[in-house]
A and B are shown apart, each in its own frame.
Chain A
């Protein structure tokens, strides 16, 4: 059995949306290298519950295998922690050693208000998709799936962008709190497919506008989003979003 070791934690605790918050210190003595980061927090919570002095730490998760996009922690100042292409739930304690101190904060942005402790409200992302992140096809009205061939490289690139899990790390890590990578990824997925082409301009303009409305910052091309994105989505998506946006604006389409 692997040895256990000690970890010091500084965790953001905040009772509710409008309550003040602060970092609180905890120490865990029985951390095992095979634990996932979230399992380490589970163990902490069990300890807190057993002691009964305060409420357990709230944090979001569901699949715990890096696909649902629920987990979202700022770990020592980095969204999803130190490893590239990795979600918080896929991070393992073997990346830490005895005596380390880890600061854990929620994803912070005006567009992601804190609900409690480390849990934030990411519904702004839903509203961005709602604005146009779809192909308007009614159930039952689709032609045969093979009636429109799609160049394999186009389909593959569309897939790359479609892998976004909507975690919000891009916003959290961006010095400007921009949601451009998330928005750009959905646009880059749908806009390049023949199925998405007819609505390309309308979709781009609508989603960009919604992103603005939600209070996310501008994109200054820092590319920090790409560095923290657990799916490694490229900021080329953002450039492409701009291209389509300008085309739509130049065409004088209703925006």
Chain B
């Protein structure tokens, strides 16, 4: 079944696909970021594929690479019962087009990626931190963020006179 997806995607978007891999029985495409919206829309609407369910959006961080982030999309087709994976490579401070126009799921999932990795999404209607609080500094899932760093958030003795706090 993977083959159907593979053929149709390659036929339609051959020039935008940077790499195709199939490992552990999972089909994955690395695509150019300009194509991601059109590509996912095609997969969703194509009558033979119908990848209507956006399962997940996440990212990985590879600090030693030039384009250090990979944004990863997983789509699922209820008819084919197959997953397909897309990857978009982006450098730090670069942004990715949003999928919120196509899927409502993308809203929160992209916010989470933004929160934990600091990758911004172009055209996202409400790009705020979601899991951490607004004043939080840094993006914890980046590899250079320390695991056990504690952020001082408020002082316990705030309403005591200043000389007590020291």
Does A associate with B in a complex?
Answer: no
Chain A interfacial positions (CB closer than 8 Å to B): none
Chain B interfacial positions (CB closer than 8 Å to A): none
